[in-house]
Chains A and B, each alone.
Chain A
């Protein structure tokens, strides 16, 4: 399959290893991965912050950049959720491309039927299901199925896993106090698992969780799911 890789502005800028790992996993499975040079941002931040007219050209740009691919895969369920759920309202049309756009783990499990990518990662890992992966793109347990097949990986359950981490885009700045209060509980839950690594499918949530853990002086690292699945 010819797959367009949508890195997202967050991963491109701050989590390039997650985007690189996404390409690596897909190529190992025999797919042709193309990284269009013209890609930038899906516009989710502008849509979510009330700047709909500023988001419109970014949505149009995404459709123009990725329209030609059989599938578009991204290491972010939040951006994929914005594309699939918000673009139809924003663009007032529903191009078939939107339904071909998927987050990595849902693409692997739901589209390709792959649950074992041959990865090896000898660490104690806990998984935080991000809100948009649970309630917007609804990827279900796809990431857990993949993690269970990683060699050497000890998966530990996160208490109150489905609770938000408090990121919420501009919410994390505009309502920094509330965002931090929500994060504090998430960090405590992660600490209680005694895991080495907390993983998730969204760079933005990992930015929040990783930033909180680091400030608390925790040894737990926040690592994107793609990086675990690409490890051998």
Chain B
């Protein structure tokens, strides 16, 4: 899995400068946020559902090896071929091998983050196999050579005028309107024939049921179902953390997921398939169980809750950071708060040390998470690891010095006195307009309140201790 090429502050600076992006994102996240709030508030047992979702996921993580073997057995019994992939390369190799075995030069794809994570499209392209994205938003990005900036709505950073212009250049030269229905029709016409011609479909999976070997994909367009039912061969790649113990457990997640993600009461297209069924759907099913760093995440008792994620994206939409910078600033297929805790764990903290700091710790993500992942707690845990792994010496020295000052009331009073002297030339009409680096980061956009003429504790404790 690829990590960020630059630090979060560097990437964010570039993204923040794009006014169109800021406007597109601000509107889109606010709309989804409001929709979600409405449908969540109407459920009296929402908190119990969250508790149930969290408990089921914790149970799966506690006994993952057992559930995986059960899942494999159920899949084989239902006629599927099971492949275990340690990393992305092994998973991609399975898809390529299946495509070649059926002389397929194109595969049709269901929207899948897992396949983005392992860079399946690029790997297949190197071997002469085109992977066609059939999700509307993913298709837009593929046509433009762009990449996803949101878990659920990958083209959230693009508006419909931009999309009309893109379609005019690529799949629909005659298109005139930027009405959503017209744009959707253009994509529909383009995709229908490809569905009918495809020999191999590729999907991820939202859930895998250990008990029955059932795979589940949740989508809004029906294009995903085309991919999982029309081609004679289907390859499904599923992260090993996506299991649930029983079929009945889906009841919990199929309530939590649509309300949290699209703000819908019920998901429009929920596809469930168990192995191969004679004369119905694909007659050859390959299931790839992907690790790609997940067992390493599982080892960390605090960090492993990141594996509970059901990819709903509620944390992105409520995040004050994500809704300003957008997803590209995170440099990973997993952006936003969940990305800030998942990416560094999957690829190693030393490869993404600034991501856990891309949060004001406002806690909105934790409150919105349908499976109660304590994202702020994991962020702090990862910050500690980041400091140990790649912390700057100057910062460590400053933090140690501050801790030393705070370890003594006398030293704190002395530091306050020194600050009063040092700030004298900087204070203008009651505020400080400019501070030296690194504090200039503050004063570039904000005034700073000076240290007060008299500290409270020093004065108050003296007054109170004075004999009456």
Take A35-B460, A54-B400 as given contacts and tell me if A174 and B407 are in contact as well, using a CB distance cutoff of 8 Å: no
Residue pair B391, A50 in contact (C-beta under 8 Å): yes
Residue pair B9, A177 in contact (C-beta under 8 Å): yes
Residue pair A164, B457 in contact (C-beta under 8 Å): no
Interface residues of A in 178-204 (CB under 8 A from B): 178-183
Residue pair B442, A176 in contact (C-beta under 8 Å): yes
Residue pair B412, A9 in contact (C-beta under 8 Å): yes
Question: With A and B bound together, what is the CA distance between A84 and B451 in angstroms?
Answer: 28
What are 24 A-to-B residue pairs whose CB atoms are below 8 Å?
A5-B460, A9-B412, A12-B412, A12-B455, A12-B456, A16-B455, A19-B456, A37-B461, A41-B412, A46-B399, A49-B387, A50-B386, A51-B399, A54-B403, A61-B407, A135-B362, A166-B320, A174-B9, A176-B442, A178-B325, A179-B360, A181-B16, A207-B449, A211-B448
Residues of A within 8 A of B48 (CB): none
CB-nearest residue of chain B relative to A81?
B363
**CB within 8 A of B380: which of A33, A35, A47, A180?**
A47
Q: Is B8 an interface residue (CB 8 A)?
A: yes
CB-nearest residue of chain B relative to A55?
B403
Residue pair B383, A211 in contact (C-beta under 8 Å): no
Question: With A and B bound together, what is the CA distance between A7 and B460 in angstroms?
Answer: 10
Q: Is A91 an interface residue (CB 8 A)?
A: no
Take A57-B403, A182-B324 as given contacts and tell me if A52 and B384 are in contact as well, using a CB distance cutoff of 8 Å: yes
Residue pair B457, A39 in contact (C-beta under 8 Å): yes
Residue pair B442, A54 in contact (C-beta under 8 Å): no
Residue pair B403, A171 in contact (C-beta under 8 Å): no
How many A residues are at the interface, by size bracket? Answer: 35 or more
Q: Is B126 an interface residue (CB 8 A)?
A: no
Residues of B within 8 A of A170 (CB): 357
Residue pair B403, A50 in contact (C-beta under 8 Å): no
Q: Is B127 an interface residue (CB 8 A)?
A: no
Interface residues of B in 450-468 (CB under 8 A from A): 450-452, 454-461, 464-465
Residue pair A173, B438 in contact (C-beta under 8 Å): yes
Q: Is A70 an interface residue (CB 8 A)?
A: no
Residues of A within 8 A of B142 (CB): none
Residues of B within 8 A of A15 (CB): 449, 452
Question: With A and B bound together, what is the CA distance between A219 and B241 in angstroms?
Answer: 53
Take A11-B456, A16-B455, A40-B407 as given contacts and tell me if A176 and B360 are in contact as well, using a CB distance cutoff of 8 Å: no
**CB within 8 A of B360: which of A5, A11, A166?**
A166
Question: With A and B bound together, what is the CA distance between A177 and B324 in angstroms?
Answer: 10
Interface string of A65-108 (1 = CB under 8 A from B): 00000000000000000000010010000000000000000000
Residue pair A211, B447 in contact (C-beta under 8 Å): yes
Residues of A within 8 A of B324 (CB): 178, 181-182
Count A/B pairs, Cβ under 8 Å. Answer: 195
Question: With A and B bound together, what is the CA distance between A49 and B16 in angstroms?
Answer: 24
**Chain A min CB distance to B452 (Å):** 5
Residue pair A13, B455 in contact (C-beta under 8 Å): yes
Residue pair B362, A131 in contact (C-beta under 8 Å): yes
Residue pair A171, B412 in contact (C-beta under 8 Å): no
**Chain B min CB distance to A143 (Å):** 18
Residue pair B320, A16 in contact (C-beta under 8 Å): no
Residue pair A23, B412 in contact (C-beta under 8 Å): no
Residues of B within 8 A of A49 (CB): 383, 387, 399
Residue pair A40, B412 in contact (C-beta under 8 Å): yes
Residue pair B452, A48 in contact (C-beta under 8 Å): no
**CB within 8 A of A182: which of B320, B396, B448, B464?**
B320
Interface residues of B in 374-397 (CB under 8 A from A): 377, 380, 383-387, 391, 396
6 more A-B residue pairs beyond the given contacts A12-B416, A50-B383, A174-B441, with a C-beta to C-beta distance below 8 A: A9-B412, A12-B412, A13-B419, A40-B408, A49-B387, A212-B446
CB-nearest residue of chain A relative to B448?
A211
**CB within 8 A of A211: which of B409, B446, B452?**
B446
**CB within 8 A of B407: which of A12, A39, A57?**
A57
**CB within 8 A of B446: which of A36, A39, A46, A180?**
A180
Interface string of A140-163 (1 = CB under 8 A from B): 000000000000000000000011
Question: With A and B bound together, what is the CA distance between A147 and B439 in angstroms?
Answer: 34
User: Which of B22, B403, B438 has the largest count of A CB atoms less than 10 A from its CB?
Assistant: B403
